Each structure stands twice: as C-alpha cells, then as structure tokens.
Amino acid sequence: MTWQVPIEFKSVTKSYGSYLALDDMTLTVESGEIFGFLGPNGAGKTTAIRILTGFLNPTDGSAHVFGMNSWMETVNINRRIGFVPDLSSLYDNSTGIELLEYFGSLHGGLNRPNLNTLSDSLKLSHEDLNRKIRQYSHGMKRKLAIIQAMQHQPDLLIMDEPTQGLDPLTQIALFGVLKTFSNNGGTIFFSSHVLSEVENLCERVAIIREGKLIVIEKIKELKSRKRRVAKIRFKNEIPSNFDLQGLTIISRDNNEFLLSIDHNINPFIKFLGNYQVENLSIEEPSLEDIFLDYYQDPNQDDLSL
C-alpha cells in the first residue's frame, strides 16, 4: 500500500443553511503524531470529526484518511481507524464483553491479549465486562468505548473529548495508554477543551474558532512567542533601571520585582549576572494562556504553519 498521511482536510466547508459550521478548513496530520484539536463547545470540532469519520458529507472540499475519501470510502477507512465519539451510545442490553466481541468480529476477531492489556490499564475488570452495560456508570461506559476503539490495534485513533466522565487516576492511565500507542507508530487525533491534557500529550495543535482554523503550530513554538512572568528578589543592590528591550515592570515591593519578559530571556539572564539575586522564578506560559489570547483577541487570526 502506498504510504499516505493519516489525515488531510482540503478546504473543507460545512454549512447548515446560513450557519457556517466549518469555514474552508485545511489541515494535515502526520504519521505518529498526537495531534490536539482545540476549541470551546460549538467551535466546529465535532463537525470536523464527523466529516472525517464519514458521518457527514462536507458542503465543499474533502477530507481524506490514509488517502481515502472519508465520505466515499468509509468501509475501507473503518478497517484502519478506532473512533471514540463525544457521546458513546452503547448497546445497553449487552454485556461489555459481548459488545467488544461484536466489534472485534468486524475486524477479523477479538484480539484477546490487547483487550486484556487495555482492560487492566483502564481498570475495567473481568466482572465489569460480564455485567450488562445498562448497569455501567458514565465513566465505565467511557472506558468501554475507548477499549472498543483500540482493541483491534488501529493505525489511527480519533477521539472526541476522550476524558469526559473519567476520574483523575483513569485519565492518567489513559494518557499512558495513548503514549504507548503513539510510541508504537499509531497516530492520534483528538479534540478537547481540557487544555492541560492537550499540553501533556501533544506536540502540535490546531485552534478553531467559530468554524475557522486560526492557528496550527507546535506547542513549543506557540509558547516561545508568549511573554513570560518573572519574580525576582535582589539580595543587596537593586538595579537603578531595567533598560532592556522587551522587559516591563509589573509591580515592585522593596527589593522584589514582578516583571513581564519578551520571549527571549537570555539578555535578562545576562543582565542579572551583575547583581546578587536572592530568589528568581520565571513562569512559562501555559497552553491555556495562549488559547485565551487567541479567543479574546478578535484580530489575532494569523495562521501559523
């Protein structure tokens, strides 16, 4: 099979009458990436995922999975992907293991070793799997949906808000499972509005606002362009001024200063070599800070590639 990128949106637009859910979206996800797709509820994340998984036909443009058209070649695509939707509708009258056996049969049979590994990692016991799904809590149903999506060892995992309903310990376990999946060559595309989990997992993200992509960038590069906040306490002598480009004094309390520093902190560090510093902390910007900047500034629409 000719190698193809796992995900490619080509000028995808989706409209419902006068409402534009997606606006000319172009995006490529490379093999082996854990790619974060960010935006608040209603931004267009789920619409994009439904187009990618063949549940919606775009109004214009096209989406491709491993080079196959997501609307025209859904059956072939489904052999290579695992999908966790935002709201999992399961067969409540089945047991957990019956559901997994059914979906496993669609991929040539149940992969028992992989199923056992996933169940152990996510703490869904043998007893749990033999219970009716209608008896499951929301968190247990979420675990089952994740196992269903991963048990056949897909090449691509598509997840829409994967951690909703999971307790913190299970979330940590899931992150470990996803990192192992990626280290073994799998590609992950997931949407989330929980920015801390995206920051922990992803190298590259896209931010969507009102159906339009506003940034596609590595998290590291996004952070490098964001100002840092430094808190510094001098031991004795205090600088008469901080005449450095890109540095602003936010506040001062005797010999303690709160400073805002441009992305390049090296001139500041060199400057401090002339003084005795009692304490110094420099706070790195979080993905949440960056996300809020893009959402609060309506003029910030430059797409970084």
What is the per-residue pLDDT across 9-57, written as a single tens digit (0 to 9) for each? Answer: 999 999 999 999 999 999 999 999 999 998 888 889 999 999 999 999 9
- Token pair 């979420």 in the structure block, residue: 142
Q: How far is CA 147 from CA 44, 121, 144, 152, 238, in A?
A: 26, 10, 5, 9, 59
What's the confidence (pLDDT) of residue 243? 74
Distance CA 190, CA 86 (A): 10
**3-state DSSP helix/strand/coil % of the chain, to nearest 5:** 35, 30, 35
Q: How far is CA 162 from CA 65, 183, 203, 278, in A?
A: 20, 19, 18, 44
Q: Residue 223: what residue type? A: K
Four-CA torsion 48, 49, 51, 52, nearest 10 degrees:
120
What's the confidence (pLDDT) of residue 149? 95
What pLDDT, in 10s, does the model give residues 147-169?
999 999 999 999 998 888 889 89
7-222 topology per CATH: Rossmann fold (3.40.50)
Q: Which residues of the chain have pLDDT under 70?
A: 1-3, 87-88, 224-227, 263-264, 285-286, 293-305
* Contact status, residue 212 vs residue 26, Cβ threshold 8 Å: no
What's the confidence (pLDDT) of residue 145? 94
What's the confidence (pLDDT) of residue 75? 92
Distance CA 61, CA 250 (A): 48
What's the confidence (pLDDT) of residue 204? 93
What's the confidence (pLDDT) of residue 297? 57
Q: How far is CA 163 from CA 46, 82, 122, 197, 219, in A?
A: 15, 16, 12, 9, 20
What's the confidence (pLDDT) of residue 1? 37
138: nearest Cα among 89, 187, 182, 206 = 89
Q: How many CA atoms lie within 13 A of 225 on its CB side?
A: 10
Distance CA 78, CA 241 (A): 63
Residues 6+ apart with CB under 8 A from 171: 163, 197
Structural domain spans, the chain: 7-222, 227-284
Integer distance in angstroms from the first to the last C-alpha of the chain?
28
